Amino acid sequence: MNANVGSIDRVIRIVIGLALLSAVFLVEGPNRWFGLIGIVPLLTATMRFCPLYTVIGLSTCATDKKA
């Protein structure tokens, strides 16, 4: 499992994940549980691996270019 999530992408995923998770505590009613979707971007940021990126062949990691 190679890392395919770069540092800027990780920060964005963490911010979005925390924002979605905050909905669990701020929203009332049955729709509040949609905030648990925020776990997905937090996990992908933590593991630095996104399965969707693998499927579409995308990587936001910086590559080492050795001459």
pLDDT band at 64 (very low <50, low <70, confident <90, very high): low
For the chain, give the mean pLDDT: 91
* ∠ Cα 56 17 20 (to 5°): 120
Indicate the domain borders of the chain.
Answer: 7-56
**Which run of H or of E encompasses 21?**
helix 7-26
Q: What is the pLDDT of residues 29-52, one digit of tens each?
A: 999 999 999 999 999 999 999 999
What CA–CA distance (Å, rounded) separates 37 from 28? 16
Give pTM, 2 decimals: 0.85
Reduce the secondary structure of 30-60 to three states and give it as a string.
HHHHHHHHHHHHHHHHHHCCCHHHHHHCCCC
What CA–CA distance (Å, rounded) separates 44 from 50? 5
